[in-house]
Amino acid sequence: MSMINYASREITCKLVYYGTGLGGKTTNLEHIHSRVDPDSRGKMISLSTETDRTLFFDFLPVDLGEIRGFKTRFQLYTVPGQVYYNASRKLILKGVDGIIFVADSQAHRAEANVEAMHNLYENLSSYKIDLDQIPFAIQYNKRDLDSALPLEALRQELNPGGVPDFEAVAIDGTGVFETLRAVSKLVVKTLS
Amino acid sequence: MSPESRPDLRGELDRLLEGEGARAGYVVSDAGMVSMWAGDVAGVDAESFVSLVSAQAAAAASLAPLVCGEEFSEMTQEGGRTTVRVTGLGDGWILASLHDTLPGQGVRPHPRGDKVAALQADLKRLVGKAKAHETAGGSQVTEGWSDEAASRIDQIFRGGV
């Protein structure tokens, strides 16, 4: 949950990008890092392997400045996509305020997307968090690829509940900020 | 992007850190949120430091039961000039303190002896006070805050350079 420090008048919200390996979570963060005014963001930290696979997490702090007397910050995290890092994925979810599930649109990744979604539900349940109760959006990434499944097929499989969803090509930035804005706004709404 | 720290609590934390021979310290939740800090933190990228330390502490907390069946009360990472000491405070809180590494001697041992229990107890009390202050303003932000935050989100996350 968001940390509201009334003493120092600070609000910190934690957003986590979740999803299957090589789906584009880190690419989302890299794009955000490259496009947000450097005065408003901190350093991006990537704990990755030599082959640029996320080992533990990526982290990007963004400062929204002072809003009605509260210094407001967003902390953006990604989790490692590979299933054998599940313990790390679970740790990163601790204290989460909003989640963006990055799905890989390619047909051959359909099963991996579903597995990652199940894994998200399972890991959240260990913190007694119900995905239906927190700000959540799905991003269908890699929409530019020939092997991408039709949007309706992805929706049917991953979004039966009709949460906000977005098409994206994270590598060129398409859909990246739309998704981020949507979940961030849902998060701040929960605070009022 | 350094988090704020309430002056009176900072004074208390300062004294505790001084007693431990630390030059600075952050009290952090295991979700990576800073509750308070004190000491000389010049040159420290607080947000990056805290996120890494909290993740490391959370990982170590999961690791400990696998190898020794209990929690690590403390972890130390010694560098050439600075040593980072992470002390578990219970209830999901940690103290990450920065110490000068003494040439040839490493970091100064706890003045209170090997046991960190006394420090933990003092810090727990301080965290309790901080938490009381943190919630003292009520459970919600002021009216209109969300609308203004949403408009700020549109500005900062607009996607242009």
Window 97-126 of B, Cβ < 8 Å to A: none
Full domain range(s) for residue B25: 7-156
Select from A68, A77, A189 the Cβ nearest to the Cβ of B148: A68
- Chain B positions touching A68 (Cβ under 8 A) are 141-142, 144-145, 148
Contacts of residue A31, Cβ cutoff 8 Å, sequence gap at least 6: A170, A173, A176
Instruction: Name which of A1, A2, A5 to mutate to probe chain B: the one with the most chain B Cβ atoms within 10 A of its Cβ.
Output: A5
Contact check, Cβ <8 Å, A64/B156: yes
Question: Residue A185: pLDDT band by 50, 70, 90 thresholds?
Answer: very high
Q: Does A5 touch chain B (CB under 8 A)?
A: yes
Query: What pLDDT, in 10s, does the model give residues B62-85?
Result: 777 777 767 777 888 888 888 999
CB-side neighbour CA atoms (13 Å) of B114? 0
Question: Residue B138: pLDDT band by 50, 70, 90 thresholds?
Answer: very low
Select from A6, A63, A91 the Cβ nearest to the Cβ of B58: A91
DSSP B141: P
Contact check, Cβ <8 Å, A177/B150: no
Contacts of residue A39, Cβ cutoff 8 Å, sequence gap at least 6: none
Query: What pLDDT, in 10s, does the model give residues B1-53?
Result: 445 555 667 788 888 888 888 999 998 887 778 888 899 888 888 888 888 88
E-assigned strand segments in A105-167: 136-141, 165-167
Structure tokens at A169: 């090509």
Judged by DSSP in three states, A127 sits in coil
Contact check, Cβ <8 Å, B148/A10: no
Contact check, Cβ <8 Å, A12/B33: yes
Q: What is the pTM (predicted TM-score) of this model? A: 0.85
CA–CA dist A162, A168 (Å, integer): 17
* Residue B2 within any structural domain of the chain: no
Contact check, Cβ <8 Å, B48/A12: no
> What is the tally of structural domains in chain A?
1
The count of other CB atoms within 10 Å of the CB of residue B70 is 8
Query: What pLDDT, in 10s, does the model give residues A135-162?
Result: 999 999 999 999 999 999 999 999 999 9
What is the mean predicted confidence (pLDDT) over A170-190? 96
Output the domain CATH number for residue A112: 3.40.50.300
Judged by DSSP in three states, A186 sits in helix
Select from B9, B30, B152 the Cβ nearest to the Cβ of A94: B30
* Residue B39 within any structural domain of the chain: yes
- Chain A positions touching B37 (Cβ under 8 A) are none
- Asked if A6 contacts A149 with a C-beta cutoff of 8 angstroms, the reply is no
Dmax of chain A from CA atoms?
Answer: 53
Select from B130, B138, B153 the Cβ nearest to the Cβ of A7: B130
A110 or B108: which leads in pLDDT: A110
Contact check, Cβ <8 Å, B146/A11: no
**For position B107, what pLDDT does the model report?**
65
- Asked if A93 contacts A11 with a C-beta cutoff of 8 angstroms, the reply is no
Full domain range(s) for residue A16: 3-190
- Asked if B70 contacts B38 with a C-beta cutoff of 8 angstroms, the reply is no
Contact check, Cβ <8 Å, A91/B59: yes
CA dihedral sign of residues B125, B129, B4, B29: positive
What is the mean predicted confidence (pLDDT) over A87-93? 89
Burial of B89-118, coded b for 16+ CB within 10 Å and e otherwise, reads beebbbbbbbbeeeeeeebeebeeeeebee
What are the Cα distances from residue A90, in Å, to B8, B40, B42, B62? 36, 33, 33, 11
Q: Give which of B10, B130, B129, B64 is closest to A3, Cα–Cα.
A: B130
Give the A:B interface size as CB pairs under 8 Å.
143
- Chain B positions touching A88 (Cβ under 8 A) are 59
Q: Give the distance from residue A69's alpha carbon to the nearest chain B alpha carbon, in angstroms.
A: 9
CA–CA dist B68, A60 (Å, integer): 34
Strands A136-141 and A165-167: parallel
pLDDT value at B139 more than 80: no
- Asked if A67 contacts A9 with a C-beta cutoff of 8 angstroms, the reply is no
Output the domain CATH number for residue B46: 3.30.450.30
Structure tokens at B104: 């040839």
> What is the tally of structural domains in chain B?
1
Query: What pLDDT, in 10s, does the model give residues A9-43?
Result: 788 899 999 999 999 999 999 999 999 999 999 99
What is the mean predicted confidence (pLDDT) over B139-154? 85
CA–CA dist A63, A68 (Å, integer): 14
What is the mean predicted confidence (pLDDT) over B96-114? 74
CA–CA dist A56, B53 (Å, integer): 13
Query: What pLDDT, in 10s, does the model give residues B150-159?
Result: 999 999 999 8
ipTM summary value: 0.90
Q: Give which of A192, A138, A141 is closest to A162, Cα–Cα.
A: A138
* Residue B161 within any structural domain of the chain: no
